[in-house]
Structure 1
């Protein structure tokens, strides 16, 4: 009996050991020339973990995660990774050449070295988008077939990839090909300046049987996610009734898609939009993310306060590029046209020539032109240099806490560029004013007799 009991105990202990097998990823590495005191692991927009760096730039931790795609983030740069339970991955990189130097070793490294190589191959391919979308259908199909073949060759030349990862990547390449077809009509219209263009039914056939309700692929394959979001966005833009938009989303979309659509549609809630209430209520109906809904409610309530004639939110003692500081109250008695921008924002920079022309045209009028940079602290020198290099005129200021600055928060600014117009008494004329390149701005100035 004792012998049987001993055997049972051994079997039980062995079973427990098997059942409690650790289910985590070992993740370590070293960063040369670190730009921050930590590295972050992200899953989409959500932060999975922050890992502190040691003095020599090294780090190590365990990640209790499900298998899938993640991003390594450090100092404003990111790199895509594929991690599975029981991986033991080590990464090294130099921030001076982040993407060119990132290298993985250890169990699971093959998947990630492929992703790094894929990124560099895409960068070096240097596809001329304008040239591609100007092509006629047959030439375009030939070009994207070549792109697809090149990507498949890189994938197929890899050794020892995780089987599921390789399957996902092959599917991702196919979805990438379909994305080109999906975007061809709008791209061709734009680059050929032919708004009446319509692709032939034969050209669009590969999209005919595409299932846009595959929840698994949406959460695991990036190019499928783009296909689905583009499909929904185009459908939404064709629906006139806002209530019908959200009724359709609630009927057809799965939870992850609903959250992403909510995140996209929130940007339609802007000052002077008479449909704000309908969008707010609709977005609240499709989202189940409490933190997002709380933030949306706060933003919506702020926007309600930004109607014409309301007192403008104020900024105080913002650093002036010319020296000293400037507050909104310093400009009372003048109209104030404010440009909220940042050095990294392409559309902001594209407005600079029109803004400079406007400032010259109105230099002797009762209006102050103010540019407020929302750059982060680490980009301070870049802001200083860009103002000099581009010979920016007007009053050049930098916000005291980038997008978290109270003035920017109070104006519910979450995308830039954003332009504001305030009257001589400090009251709002337009909290989402026309851009300098928009002829409607001059019309507005004329109406005000500026």
Structure 2
């Protein structure tokens, strides 16, 4: 009998050892009124696509790396989720009333329905940004305190919620409040139309002033912590770079090496690399090598490498990529080869681009100054076909000078892609032989443009 009991115990232990470890969460549901064919679930170090069927239903087994907060995006809408291994969550939503319609059921619903409630509570408080951020300091603080108090009350009222979620979310509520306090000065300046406004010395909590960003777990779990960390980390770098980013060296970026959170370091590099790895910068190769050696994000490194490889052919003296048969606002079509024999200053812009439009007055002044010189000013719009009439009207209404052209395929135009343009406005200077002077030339509002043109055109200052 004793041997039999031992044998049964051994079998039981073996069975327990063989029981599969649950390292996944199941997410299913239905989205109404959407033509989306996929949803995207991601966190700081995880990303996966979830297929959506024609009837709006979806279901997937998610091999999440850890329990925590994730972002679920469908089209332009997104929501925060909390997923833990072993969850079997069902969600229902209507894309027309995205946040208001989200409802979770089954295992994992408690935490996620709280997150929906939290978002709607915050949205109700901040629904009128002008009124909210125009409040004086004391009133603004009271509004934040009330919002945090309501969210904490809802959190404490949860039944059978995951203990790790509750503990993490309590920290997140503090970071949420800190983040909104941190943004107050800039937002108040804008909405209260008081650009010189400075917060009082006592406005920010001492804990916020003294925050050092070295908590990698908080960076993963809190969007507000990420926002604070990114802002506090990248601002000194921008200050070091100054106004002329085309003179950036690795010395300006040395503080990146000291960032304690690798995910934050990756995000900073991803933010800076796209425009600093520029053919207009003689230090492009050393910057590229610096970014790649300090990043662990393979997607980011791949993008940087693609940009660098393309930009190697865009340095000064290389033949310029061509645009062919772009529509001319004055009629007919125009190609870059039609302008050979002249310098060509190309402004890549669009009617929806605010910074582009803000450059128009300065561009007109530069055009006027160099009106009688051997240079053509070309503005190439990358508006979509559906906005063609808007482009025609804006050129006329704003009395835009120079040569106004419309690219043949907006962002996908070969000229735009060959110049590795990822953001606009972008300015390009080409010499009379069709070779590149600068693939990332100064903006019209930058005095360095006049200096560059005077030097190239050999004008007397």
TM-score normalised by length of structure 2: 0.77
Deviations 1:15-40, CA, capped at 9 Å, x for gaps: 146x4153321111222333332222
Deviation, 1:298, is 3.8
Could you tell me how far 1:63 is from its partner in structure 2? Answer: 0.7
Output the CA distance in 2 between the equivalents of 1:324 and 1:38.
Answer: 42
Distance 1:77 1:265 in 2: 26
Separation in structure 1 between the aligned mates of residue 281 and residue 194 of structure 2, nearest angstrom: 32
Q: Name the structure 1 match of 2:16.
A: 15
Partner of 2:265: 258
Distance 1:56 1:350, change over 3 A: farther
Partner SS state of residue 85, structure 2 = coil
**Aligned equivalents of 2:109, 2:277: Cα separation in 1:** 44
- Equivalent in the alignment of 2:140: 143
The aligned residue for residue 381 of structure 2 is 372
1:157 maps onto 2:154 in alignment: yes
- 1:227 is displaced (CA, Å) by 1.9
Q: Deviations over 1:238-287 (max 9, x none)?
A: 55895555554334523222222222331323233344344333323322
Distance 1:34 1:327, change over 3 A: farther
Unpaired stretches in structure 2, ≥5 consecutive residues: 242-247
In the TM superposition, what is the alpha-carbon distance from 1:62 to its structure 2 partner? 0.9
Correspondent of 1:402 among 408, 411, 434:
411
1:387 to 365, 386, 391: 391
- Tell me what 1:41 maps to: 41
Gaps of 5+ in 1: none
1:192-271 alignment, distance < 5 Å: 192-194=194-196, 200=201, 203=204, 205-237=206-238, 247-266=254-273, 267-271=275-279
Q: Using the alignment, how far apart are the partners of 1:324 and 1:111 within structure 2?
A: 61
Partners of 1:367 and 1:439 lie apart in 2 by 19
Distance change in 2, residues 1:141/1:342 (3 Å)? farther
Offset from partner CA, 1:174-232 (integer Å, 9 cap, x none): 2233334545666678864449x686378563334423212221222121122222222
Which residue matches 2:311? 303
RMSD (Å), alpha carbons: 4.1
Residues 6-57 of structure 1: CA deviation (Å, up to 9, x unaligned): 623651364146x41533211112223333322222224x663222222212
Check 1:214–1:279 CA distance in 2 against 1; reply closer, same or farther (3 A cut).
same
SS in 1 for 2:35: coil
Change (3 A) 1:49 1:132: closer
State yes or no: 1:77 paired with 2:77: yes
Q: Does 1:422 align with 2:430?
A: yes
2:244 matched to which residue of 1?
Answer: none
1:286 paired residue among 284, 288, 294: 294
Counterpart secondary structure, 1:288 = coil
> Partners of 1:317 and 1:268 in 2: how far apart?
31
- Note if contact 1:340-1:374 (Cα within 8 Å) is conserved in structure 2: no
1:272 is the counterpart of 2:269? no
Does the 8 Å contact 1:144/1:177 carry over to 2?
no
Once the two structures are TM-superposed, the CA of residue 338 in structure 1 deviates from its matched residue by 3.1
Structure 2 residue 89 is matched with structure 1 residue 89: yes
Query: Which residue number corresponds to residue 51 of structure 2?
Result: 52
Q: Matched residues in 2 for 1:28 and 1:84: separation?
A: 15
Write out aligned runs for 1:162-181 (5 A): 162-181=162-181
Q: Which residue of 2 aligns with 1:433?
A: 441
Q: Distance in 1 between matches of 2:133 and 2:235?
A: 22
